Structure 1
Amino acid sequence: MKTNTAIKSESNVPFRKIQKQSVTEDVESQLRDAILTGVLAPGESLAEARLGAQLGVSRASIRQAKFQLMNEGLLEFDERGTATVRRLTLSDAHEIVEFRQVLELAAIRLACSRLTNDTLIALEENIRQTEQESNLLKLTFLDIAFHEAIMRASGNSRLVDAWRGLRPQLELWLAGVHRRHSDVTARTCEETVASHKLLISALKTGDPDVAEKAMSEHTSSLQNWLLLEAEREQEAEA
């Protein structure tokens, strides 16, 4: 059985220099993007001195950003205090799927009775952008943004907060799967657009049961495939 040891990073990641305003937030943003795009790979260590030199900021700013990304579930620290990009396990994937489905089904039921024209316009604009997008990572973010709009439409701030707590790890997982399957971009786009149009139609009925059924079918079909890919990846690493 192979062990997941931390990968020492020697790569010269093409960061841009940090602007003076909101230094820590800018560092967080660049590191988050590097993680989600795979520039910083799962298991890769983040050395404060090297990153500080690349970004042109203090080690303290790097450290603060790393703690924020740890809170989001994108980084983890070992017993020596070394931060590495989180490597999601099959167990993590199952928990993400279960929690996402709980939130999504609750949200769409509430959204049915609280749907506004502004929300419908936002959802339809998201679909328009999705139809025109060819980048798989951007498709991932558009997909998540569509579902977050439904979360907000629920009118329940605690549901939204729970979703936003889950979102970084959901992005990490989905982005990783999609990077390994970049050949299916066109099919992913078509399937996403078709299923999202069905969700909008279900919302317009105003019937919570119809909307919940549509969301359950949407999330189940996608998540079954994603979990199968996670299982295959774990078997390949064994």
Structure 2
Amino acid sequence: MNQPSISELPRIARTATAEVHNVIKQRILDGHYRAQEYVREASIARELGVSRTPVREALRELVSEGWLEAIPHHGARVVAWTERDAREVFELRLVLEPMAVRLASERMNRTHLAHLEELASRMEELVERIEREPEVRNEIALLNHEFHRELIAASDNQRLAAVLDGVVRTSVIRRNFGNYDLANLRRSMRHHREILEAISAGSSTWAENVMRSHLLAAQALHVRFPDSPDEPQTSPG
């Protein structure tokens, strides 16, 4: 059997690291690894049939991206989502994401808009199945993240998109997704649809304001305000 050449070795190592990275990240998103649970290098290497080197590198990357935290003398563990995290994320999103939607509404082409409309329709259909098929929650969460990501990408502002990508963590959405109730999901879907209607109508101000309302509604359910008497629930952003 042919052995890889010296020039191919870095590419092969990078591929292994990327694969391990994706597996661990998906397990965090799916709730397989819980908040503050340690992700053990040796166990991952043994389970995936790779050496410990790509696992070690993948863990470093996930720490730098904010998915894991390095605990001295113990290893890497899943970062816990706190109320302070939620508050800080929404403070940033409320400034940046409406801006991105305003830019997107001015620059979006018909192909991009059609894709967003397809995502919105798929989510709406899944939401109506959620009470009898609870397993569709994860699919809705993935589509929801893609919807927001595609809206932001349509702003055609790479720096803004890069900042928002660092702020809007899918772990925030996915780890709490099981708590959403049907009314909150339906409201979120209506917001998505109205944003697209505003874009179709050529009204950047309308689109921007609906996104702000969308985020404020989610913030009210994620974050306890000082005068709030009840425990917050979660709702998709």
Shorter chain as denominator, the TM-score bin is 0.7 to 0.9
Is the counterpart of residue 23 in structure 1 residue 16 in structure 2? yes
Quote the offset at 1:177 in angstroms: 1.6
- In structure 2, distance between residues paired with 1:232 and 1:51: 37
Q: Report the CA distance between 1:227 and its aligned residue.
A: 1.7
Could you say which residue in structure 1 is the equivalent of 2:133?
Answer: none
SS at match of 2:66: coil
Which residue in the other structure is 2:151 paired with? 150
Residue equivalent to 1:116: 109
What amino acid maps onto 1:23 in structure 2? A
Offset at residue 208 of structure 1 (A) = 2.5
Is residue 83–residue 222 contact of structure 2 (8 Å, CA) maintained in 1?
no
Asked if 1 retains the 8 angstrom alpha-carbon contact of 2:188 and 2:214, the reply is no
Partner in structure 2 of residue 214 of structure 1: 210
How much has 1:20 moved relative to structure 2? 9.1
**32, 44, 47: which one aligns with 2:37:** 44
Q: Which residue in the other structure is 1:32 paired with?
A: 25
In the TM superposition, residue 188 of structure 1 has moved relative to its aligned partner by 4.6
Aligned amino acid, residue 200 of structure 2: K
SS in 2 for 1:83: strand
Distance in 1 between residues matched to 2:173 and 2:160, nearest whole Å:
21
Please state whether the residue corresponding to 2:223 is helix, strand or coil.
helix
- How far apart, CA to CA, are the structure 2 residues paired with 1:210 and 1:175? 28
Structure 2 portions without partners, runs of 5+:
1-11, 131-135, 233-237
Is the contact between residue 130 and residue 189 of structure 1 (CA under 8 Å) also seen in structure 2?
A: no
**Residue deviations 1:52-75, cap 9 Å, x none?**
111111111111111111122110
Pairing partner for 1:197 from 175, 193, 197? 193
Any conservation in 2 of the 1:177–1:226 contact (CA below 8 Å)? no
- Contact 2:101 2:152 (8 Å CA) reproduced: yes
Compute the TM-score of the two structures, normalised by the length of structure 1: 0.80
CA distance in structure 2 between the partners assigned to 1:50 and 1:145 by the alignment: 31
In 2: Cα distance, 1:188 partner to 1:139 partner: 13
How far off its partner does 1:76 sit?
0.2
- When structure 1 is superposed on structure 2, of 32-41 and 202-211 the one drifting more is 202-211
Distance (whole Å) between structure 1 residues aligned to residue 30 and residue 175 of structure 2: 8
In the TM superposition, residue 151 of structure 1 has moved relative to its aligned partner by 0.8
RMSD: 2.3
Question: Where in structure 2 are the equivalents of 1:83-102 lying within 5 Å?
Answer: 83-102=76-95
Q: How many residues align?
A: 209
DSSP 3-state at the match of 2:32:
coil
Match of 1:165 in 2: 166
> Counterpart of 1:27 in structure 2: which amino acid?
V
Secondary structure of the residue that 1:22 maps to in structure 2?
Answer: helix
In structure 2, what is the equivalent of residue 57 of structure 1? 50
> What is the CA–CA distance in structure 2 between the aligned matches of 1:132 and 1:56, rounded to whole Å?
39
Offset at residue 111 of structure 1 (A): 1.4
Residues 147-199 of structure 1: per-residue CA shift (max 9 Å, x gap): 111111111111111122223xx2112212213x16x2x44543332111111
Q: Percent identity?
A: 28
Aligned partners of 1:108 and 1:150 also within 8 Å: yes
In 2, the alpha carbon distance for the partners of 1:209 and 1:91 equals 30
Match of 1:13 in 2: none
Kindly report structure 1 stretches of 4+ aligned residues shifted beyond 4 Å.
none
Deviation (angstroms), 1:207: 2.6
SS at match of 1:77: strand
